[in-house]
Each structure stands twice: as C-alpha cells, then as structure tokens.
Chains A and B, each alone.
Chain A
Amino acid sequence: MADAGMAGTAAAPSASNAAVLSVQNLEAWYGESHILHGINFDVSPGEVVTLLGRNGAGKTTTLKSVMGIIGKRAGSIRFDGKEIIRASSDRIARMGVAFCPEERGIFASLDVRENLLLPPAVRNGGLSMDQIFELFPNLKERLSSQGTKLSGGEQQMLAIGRILRTGARFLMLDEPTEGLAPVIIQQIGQTIARLKKEGFTILLVEQNFHFAATVADRFYIVEHGKIIDGFANSELQANMEKLHTYLGV
C-alpha cells in the first residue's frame, strides 16, 4: 500500500498549485473519535475525482470537513488557492463550493419550485430553472409537489439541481446513486458527464464502483481515515485486482 502522501501525488495529473481543491494532512474528529488521519489529495479544474472506500472509511467525513461541517479539523484545505480550514460553512459555500449530502437534505415543507429557488446565488452563472428542467425533466412535472412526496431519484435530482442554481462550479456529491433504480443511476451518470463537459469540477464519494468507473477521471481509495492509493481512470484495468481487495467486492 502506498502511503497517504505518495498516493496523493502519484495519481495527481497536475501540480497542486493549479488544483481547485488541495487537501493536505487533513485530520478530523467527531467528539473524541479521531476519524481522518491525514488525508491528502488534489482536484484539478474540470476533473471528476472519486473517493472510493468501504463503509466508515471516512469518505463522507472528508467532504463534510471540506465543507466546514465538522467542528474539529486540522491540516490544510485550499480552495482556489485560499486556505479554508478555518472558514465557516456558509462562507465556504459562498466561495463556490456546493455540497450535495448523502441524505439529500430536501426541505420537506417547501415544494420543488421553492427548493430550487431557495439557494442564494453565490456566483454568476447559476443554472436557470429551464436549464435545471432540461437536465432533470422529472422535476418540471413535480414542480408543486412537496419535497418529501418525491421519489428517491427525484429527491436526488432536486438536491443536485438545487446546488447547480447557486452558480458554484465545484460540486461535492456524496453517494448520489445510493438506493436508486438502475435507470435513475444512469440518468445521474449522464448528468455528471454533462456537467463535466460544461466545465464543472466534481468531487464524488461513491461505494458503487461500477458507477464511479463510468464518470470519474481519477480515483482515491480511502481506508481508516487515510488515502491509501490512487490512480487515473486509464489505469483502472491494471489496478482492478487491488481495487477488489480494497473494496471487498
């Protein structure tokens, strides 16, 4: 197994100073529990990077740490060249980081339209309602439906659509395919591919390796709160055996 630092640099195709997001020696705690033990990775502009790993490895905690949701953190997180490890969550969001949590966080008492209109515009270039409906036609049909009355797939579309309204160009998606039907997973995959084509940078957390393989440029393997390996999509076949060992699939 490569050590954390090696993995972070070995697989990165670009220098860290060009990275949109650069995470160095990130440590995080839930109360007394030490969850992340020095995470290192970079995400370059326009890339789709996936964090893979088993349950409890620290993938979601990594995203939450970047977003400033975890209270106790140490190390360095640089976004667009600025240190954000001490920044509040709302400030990080206003800098252009958008986070779509695993539980989707749809506001139950708001309908689809209100959920889409709610987010503040943090930058110019947020998708219009029509553009959102073009990406997710289902949402247009459910415009007046209450957030909780949507299916899991529709909720996921709404959660992704909502962060696209903000104008943020860096998206963090936490297990967007979890619990969804194959046809919806395919639609989410197409959306991610399209967003990548339009220049969005995406940091994805996934347990569904087969899905991640279709959309990601690079992969990092997270285990016990560390990045233990990393490789580009082109190296996927060569690393398949190792990957099966890491993920237990």
Chain B
Amino acid sequence: MTAMTDNAMPVTPRAIRDEMIVFAIMTLLLLIVPLTDLYPFFVMQALCCALLACAFNLLIGYGGLLSFGHAMFLGTGGYVTAHAAKVWGMPPEFGILVGVAASAVLGVVTGIVAIRRQGIYFAMITLALSQLIYFIYVEVPFTHGEDGIQGIPQGHLFGFLDLSKPTVLYYVVVANFLFGFLIVFRAINSPFGEVLKSIRENEQRAISLGYKTDQYKLLAFILSGTLAGFAGSLKVYVVQNASLSDVEVSMSGLIVLMTLVGGLGTVFGPVVGAFIIVATQQYLAGFGSWVTVIQGSIFVACVLLFRRGIVGEIAHFFRRSL
C-alpha cells in the first residue's frame, strides 16, 4: 500500500503531457514490431496480459481494491468468446462483444458481493468467487473441462480483416490493446478517477464529502472486470484456445505480479510488468517448472529492492508521472 501511495502523483498538465509522450513512443514501438526480429506472437500475448494488468491496476492502483480473482474475468471473456466463435460461428467482432458482455455481467454480480468489504476481506471474497467460477468451468460441458476449447477459428474481423494472417492479427491486437489502454487512461484522468483516488486514500472522508463511495467502487470493479474480459476475448484469437489455465488462481497471482513488477498505480507499469513476466515464460521456457521459481524470485526482489516497481522507480527518480 505504501508503494501504491508513493507512486501517486497529481494529474497536472505536465504529468498528462509526459504520459502522452510515453504513450506516443509506446504506440510507435508497437507499430514497428513486425519490421523487427521480435516474435509477434510473444508481443500479442504480452499485449493481452498488459491489458489485463492495466484493468487490474485501475482497481488496485487507483481504487485501492486488491482483487485476487481477476482471472475469472479473463477466463469468462475467453470461454464465452471461444464458444461464440466455434459453436455459434460468430464473427470476431461479435465474439469479442459477447465475451466482454459476459465479463461485465460477471463484474456486476461479483462486484455487488465483493465491494461490501475492504482490504484483506475484499481480496478474500474475490479469491473465493474466482474459485467458485473455476469449479463451475471445470464442471459445465461447454468448456470441455481439462481439454478446453481448442481450434477456435479466427475468422474475418468486420468481414474483411483476415485474422489468420499474422500481420493483420497483430495490428488488430495492437489497436484493441490501445483502445483498452486509453479507456483506462481516460478513467484515471477523469473526475471519476479523482474520486477513486480519494476513496483509496481516505474513504471515510470521501463519504463525508457527500460521495456514495460504494457506487464508485462498484463501477471501478465492473469496468476493471469488463476490460479484463476484453483481454481474455482478444487472447482467444491469438492463441486459438480457451483453457482452465486462464481461470486458475495462479493466473490471478500472475496478474498481481505483473502489476507489482511494473509499478502499482502507474500508467505504464502494468504494460512493462506484463512484458517482463510473459518474456520470462516465453524465453525461459527451457527451464521448465523453474520458471515459477524465477518469477517468485523476481517478485521477492521487487518487494525488497524496488517497491514502486520498475516504472514507479523511474518515475520517482525523474519526478515524473508515468
């Protein structure tokens, strides 16, 4: 929590200008990836995780609500989109839409239950709900249990963008990531974001100023869950499957790790954190299950040595908002 507060900077015009410059650089880098030797599949996976971490960061970094169950949104978005695409034959735009809608509904239902408590109790409720959803997905036939939904057709987005072509798919994922990122960016730089920050810092004071803080927390939870579902839906078209691994508790832990490593309460931290964690999975795959040990070591190092996260430390050093 201390790290989170340390990263919090007022949204001055200069801060927004800094963030816009970094956003432009990030966009440019993403656009030129196909021209480099970088593996596009890795970048697409990382972007899906980055969107997921950004959604999670909106809740913890700005609302102060630590969810240990965000994998339920990722998995729900993924499963529903996968089912819609494979069984119902929906085109990608509608597949993504129903996946996102399902996550939003799940966000409403779980949010109403979870936001009634704070701190560790909120985290435990989200964890319990996530486990509940996990066991539902283990049992219901449409998820195909351990096998998951495989061989999902990528189809044509809007009827003309052939997602089976890697370059087209890459730019579609980039565009969707930037869209989701900008929603989060807009939310945290809006009056809604200011109220969220005030709730994070002193909820009682925000209430006594006249805010119904439960409504704001619920809205943040739903928005965060919906965007996490959006990431899950996108991921389906990248990896062409939806499996239980996306709903598991370890995935929820991974989301926390990505955000912490990058920088809690920073705009770009979750993106950096997601790239680092996905890179460890991708490029250190040869170490087998030792990857988990490496990730654990990164987590410990992060907590002990740079509690603000990578972006948080850089922002703190240069006294900039990133």
Contact surface of A with B, Cβ cutoff 8 Å: 67-69, 88-90, 92-94, 99, 101, 105, 107-111, 114, 117-120, 122, 144, 146, 162-163, 166
Contacts and interface: CB of A to CB of B under 8 A. Distances in A.
Interface in B52-91: none
A94, A105, A107, A108 — which one has the most chain B CB atoms within 10 A of its CB? A107
Nearest to A119: B209
Given A105-B205, A109-B201, A110-B194, A144 B211 contact: no
Contact of A105 (B12, B202, B213): B202
Contact of A166 (B198, B210, B212): B210
Interface stretch (B2-10, B139-147, B310-318): B2-10
B198 A118 contact: yes
Q: Which of A90, A117, A122 has the most CB of B within 10 A?
A: A90
Interface string B204-217: 11011111110000
A114 B194 contact: yes
Contacts of B204: 69, 89
Nearest to A122: B210
A120 B11 contact: no
Given A114-B10, A114-B11, A109 B197 contact: yes
B269 to A, nearest CB: 15
Interface in B203-236: 204-205, 207-213
Contacts of B213: 90
Contacts of A109: 5, 8-10, 197, 200-201
B195 interface: yes
Contacts of A118: 191, 194-195, 198, 209
Nearest first, the 5 A-B pairs at minimum CB distance are A109-B8, A93-B210, A111-B10, A105-B205, A89-B207
Contact of B12 (A68, A120, A122, A144): A144
Interface string B1-43: 0000100111110000000000000000000000000000000
**Size class of the B contact interface (CB-based, 8 Å):** 20 to 34
Contacts of B201: 107-109
Contacts of B8: 108-109
Nearest to A101: B205
B61 to A, nearest CB: 11
Please indicate which of the listed interface residues B191, B198, B201, B208 has the most CB atoms of chain A within 10 Å of its own CB: B208
B120 to A, nearest CB: 20
Contacts of A119: 209-210
Interface string B180-207: 0000000000010011011011101101
A57 to B, nearest CB: 22
A86 to B, nearest CB: 16
A99 B11 CA distance: 26
A5 B12 CA distance: 52
Interface centre among A67, A88, A108, A122 (most CB of B within 10 A): A108
Nearest to B11: A114
Contact of B10 (A68, A120, A144): A144
Contacts of A117: 191, 194
A114 B202 CA distance: 15
A108 B12 contact: no
Contacts of A144: 10, 12
A121 B175 CA distance: 38
A93 B198 contact: no
Contacts of B212: 90
Given A109-B8, A114-B11, A146-B10, A89 B208 contact: yes
Contacts of A107: 197-198, 201-202, 205
A105 B202 CA distance: 7
B98 to A, nearest CB: 36
16 contacts: A90-B208, A90-B213, A93-B208, A93-B209, A94-B210, A101-B205, A107-B197, A107-B201, A107-B205, A109-B5, A114-B10, A114-B11, A117-B191, A118-B209, A119-B210, A166-B209
